[in-house]
Structure 1
Amino acid sequence: MYLSNPALGTREAYVPGLTKEHVATTYGIALEDVAKLGSAENPFGPSPKAAEAVKAAMKIDVYPDWTANALRERIASKYGHSPEQVICGAGETEIIPLIIRAFSAPGDKVLMFVPAFPIYHMVAENEGRVPVYVGMGEDLDFKWDDYLAAIKDDVRIVFLTNPHSPTGRLMTEEQIRRVCEAANKQLVVLDEAYIHFSKTNGGMDLVKEYSNLIVLRTFSKVFGLAGLRVGFGIASPEVITPMMHLKPTWNLGQLQTAGAIAALDDDEHINKTVDAIAEMRAYVMEKLSKLDGYSVVGQPFSNFFLLKIEDKALDSTKVFNELLKRGVIVKDGSVSFIDLGKRYLRIDVSLKKHMDRLVGALSDIGSRA
């Protein structure tokens, strides 16, 4: 009998959003009518330049460069850093475990706000680290004094997500600076997967000031390359080098690097996506404000928002399942996010027809409660 790592025995698994095909088949709904609002994907699809680059990179009989050097050079050039400051991976979800393994040991603590992207605490626990949670309270807002007070000597890694998931709230540069300065013996991980949707520059330039900061970004969201699996981190060489020692060899193939390089330069696709999401976010916020029994948490700066179920006759699981019957996929907060409870759904901002389907479905569910 083979015995696995005991740390893995009782751990939860990550729950991704359901597929359109599953919902269409299960509930007898036309595939094109299903609104997939649970994975924060780009409703406009991939960058056209990236799609063409992938087609042109079909020489797949040879090994790729094991460091994805061409992509690292292009990222470095775009954001004003050196290639030695860039690491690329198969999505942020490959880079996050590298960070935890490189900068903490079993028994060390890893700090995060909760609710949070579940990969943070799942990887930490699986690697024998101890997650330290700072709750966001009933208003689901950042409690900065509590967070700074939690940065103690036995904490090795400090996570920040900007915009935050699942709330979509935006951190200010000054707030991020305060954490970097307080955590001068720790590594600060600034996850900017959704930063484009905030129409701010993000924290890339802060890497030049804080050697204890790594900024993460992904090609899965605004660039529309979720299926290619590409993410990257930018930090000082002292941070990147040990991660490169742990990185799997040939973790990115030619198709991934070619698509990502082309997507970086497709400003037309990026701007179209960001502007359309901002317009549709305002549209759906206005529509939801007229519904009884629901409220949006805070002011979202991302391509999703957090919906609170105010009607006590309903909870997140019931509404989630009723939405599926009506061809709408969202995230059930009680399943997807630690410490969020049974009253919240995370919902993507998407095309108008999908937003209208969502609002109509929520109204119908509320009227039947």
Structure 2
Amino acid sequence: MTLKLATPALENPEFYVPGLPADWVTARYGIPVNEVAKLGSAENPFGPSPKAVAAITHELGNIHMYASWTAEPLRDALAEKYGYVPENFVCGSGETEVIALIIRAYAEPGGKVLMTRPCFPMYHLFAEAEGRQPVYLDTPTMTCDVDAYLDAIEHDTRIVFVTNPHSPSGTWLEEADVRRIVEAAPHALVALDEAYVHYSDTPGYLHLAGEYDNLIVLRTFSKAFGLAGLRLGFGVAHPDLIPPLLAVKPTWNVGRLQIAGGIAALADDEHVDRTVAAILEGKAHVTGRFEELDRFRLVPGTRSNFMLIEILDPDTDSTRVFDGLLERGVIVKDGSVSFRGLEKRYLRSDINLPHRMDHLVDALADLP
């Protein structure tokens, strides 16, 4: 039987490539799980927020009841935390779901969705699956050329993605540059993705959502809060931008455990602060260690909990290095597989605790 698909892209779809789990390395190479440096998913090295775990455990007895379809208790908590009203927020099963809702609600079939290349793959994967048109600005220096990005905004551009810190490089845009992009696209929705903003040593630009009616700022509970497996994220925007997103989302996309965990995590500043301090320590440590290597270099300027590694040795490539690291108990991301535009010269690695960074650098030094 041949069924009609919604878009031609679904006939041979491309899928997101997540970081490998540690037990895959254990099964393949016999390395104990606790000795694997899992540096391909930007997860929290200290695990989930303890307050979130307690709240989720307490809520287990209520999972026979439906949650608020808009995640209203969480919207209330977000509004109180960030100085908005609940109507400014949309919640999703991970920030990635909110990205999908934006593409569905604010770009018609064939509509142009602007992004850098490389970028977080879900931007173009969702756009293609929904029959929208990704438009790329190549960033060979791994930083966004704002003037060139402004030139790429056309009269029929529907969505403009801005990732800050950038993925996969971790580089940072100052507020004045973000404002220039938003103000250059009054006819388009600018989606400012701040998934990794806690590691930037700034409060981020969430306040801009209160100043512009064509901007949505996105954040996740997966990273600094340590709730990647819970799946929870949100967007904050002018209240007029929220109803179309609510209309296209699955009705009960955020469940009771997600709501309870998210509310508690918002109040767990101790866990977030500990995590950020450890990542900053790990970044300083690994930056020094990389000075020992002559075949690899760190792309400078990361303000995230990951870093981009450039391969300087012309006799190897990202896939060979990726495989060699796996054999030595280190999981990273092969840029040629995970990010369009990186080709075979880059890897992305998490920034983690110093002993994990030592494992990475020692494994790189040991490669033939």
Q: TM-score, normalised by structure 1?
A: 0.98
Q: Structure 2 counterpart of 1:355, which letter?
A: M
Gaps of 5+ in 2: none
Preserved contact between residue 120 and residue 168 of structure 2 (Cα < 8 Å): yes
Question: Counterpart in 1 of 2:260?
Answer: 258
Deviation at 1:10, TM superposition (A): 2.5
Same amino acid, percent of matched pairs: 56
Match of 2:111 in 1: 108
Kept after mapping to 1: 8 A contact 2:281/2:354: no
Cα separation, 1, equivalents of 2:100 and 2:354: 37
Q: How does 1:180-219 map to 2 (within 5 A)?
A: 180-219=182-221
* Residue in structure 1 matched with residue 229 of structure 2 by the alignment: 227
The residue correspondences of 1:1-369 to structure 2 (distance < 5 A) are 1-3=1-3, 4-5=5-6, 6-58=8-60, 59-137=62-140, 139-365=141-367, 368=368
Deviations 1:271-300 (A, max 9, x none): 000011001101001101221111111211
The alpha-carbon deviation at position 11 of structure 1 amounts to 2.6
* Pairs aligned (count): 365
- Please state how far the C-alpha of 1:97 moved relative to its aligned partner: 1.1
> Which has the higher mean CA deviation after the structures are superposed, 190-199 or 238-247?
238-247
1:62: Cα distance to partner? 1.1
- Over aligned residues, Cα RMSD in angstroms? 0.8
Runs of 4+ in 1 over 4 A off after TM superposition: none
Give the match's secondary structure for 1:22: helix
Instruction: State the SS of the aligned residue for 1:57.
Output: helix
Structure 2 letter corresponding to 1:123? F
Per-residue CA distance 1:293-352 (angstroms, 9 max, x = gap) = 111112110000000000011100000000000000000000000111101000001122
CA contact under 8 A between 2:16 and 2:122: conserved in structure 1?
yes
Letter aligned with residue 39 of structure 2: L
Structure-2 separation of matches of 1:162 and 1:347: 17
CA–CA distance in 2 between the matches of 1:168 and 1:314? 24
The letter of the residue matching 2:94 is G
CA apart distance, 1:44:
0.6
TM-score, length-scaled by structure 2? 0.98
Rounded to whole Å, the distance in 2 between the matches of 1:341 and 1:210 is: 36
- AA aligned opposite 1:298: P
Deviation at 1:7, TM superposition (A): 2.3
